[in-house]
Copies of this chain bind each other. A is one copy, B any other.
Amino acid sequence: MKVNKGVEWAAHACALLAVLPEGWTLSAEALAAYHDVPPAYMAKQMQALSSAGLVVSVRGAAGGYRLARPARDISLKDVFLAVEGAAPSFRCTEVRQNGPCGAAKAQCRKPCGIAASFYAAETAFRDSLAGVTIMDVVASASAASDLGKAAKIATWIQSNASRPGTER
């Protein structure tokens, strides 16, 4: 059971978008450069975030991405579901219906105990992620870093982000 790498990248991208000045955007290419990951694949993850409504995409020159809503209203569960999809991780193949003692289909309208337990565990997993917002992530990151780094990031944003509808 492995979480897609894209989830990690998407989460970090959201954290960076969260500290962007109001109305500014970052292109997929800039986000990839910031995190030093493959640009084309980073772009794919951003598309997933976009179609899930977590970020807003701005096309055209000086376009890019920005968060669709405040960082406090976006959770890691949202990011996880956007990138990973909502399909349950446990795939019940109904083995109880198989073999010489297989149960009748009519008796299998509710999931078996094993499947139900895994569904419950996955709910616990998602609930745990739902309790962490992008704002929390940003806060913990800035708590762990010094003033010099914050300045570095601000400078990088200044020269790599853009504000659509206006000259940079």
Tell me the minimal C-beta distance from A9 to chain B in angstroms.
7
Instruction: Report B-chain residues with C-beta under 8 Å of the C-beta of A152.
Output: 100-101
* Contact of A58 with B by CB under 8 A: no
* Contact of A3 with B by CB under 8 A: yes
A34 to B11, CA, bound (A): 44
* Contact of A166 with B by CB under 8 A: no
Of all chain B residues, which has the CB nearest A137? B113
Label chain A's interface by main secondary structure. Answer: helix
Which of A49-57, A59-67, A121-129 is the contact stretch?
A121-129
Instruction: Report B-chain residues with C-beta under 8 Å of the C-beta of A103.
Output: 145, 149
Instruction: Report B-chain residues with C-beta under 8 Å of the C-beta of A128.
Output: 117, 120-121, 123-125
Tell me the minimal C-beta distance from A127 to chain B in angstroms.
7
Q: How many A residues, CB 8 Å from partner?
A: 62
The number of times this chain is found in the oligomer is 2
Instruction: Report B-chain residues with C-beta under 8 Å of the C-beta of A73.
Output: none
Contact, CB under 8 Å: B37 / A95: yes
Tell me the minimal C-beta distance from A77 to chain B in angstroms.
9
Contact, CB under 8 Å: A91 / B3: yes
Contact pick for A1, options B3, B98, B116, CB 8 Å: B3
Contact pick for A98, options B36, B102, B120, CB 8 Å: B36
Instruction: Report B-chain residues with C-beta under 8 Å of the C-beta of A100.
Output: 33-34, 152, 156
A137 and B117 contact, Cβ closer than 8 Å, known pairs A34-B100, A35-B98, A91-B3: yes
> Interface of A with B (CB < 8 Å)?
1-5, 7-9, 11-12, 15, 33-37, 76, 84, 89-93, 95-96, 98-103, 107, 110, 112-118, 120-129, 132, 136-137, 139-141, 144-145, 149, 152-153, 156
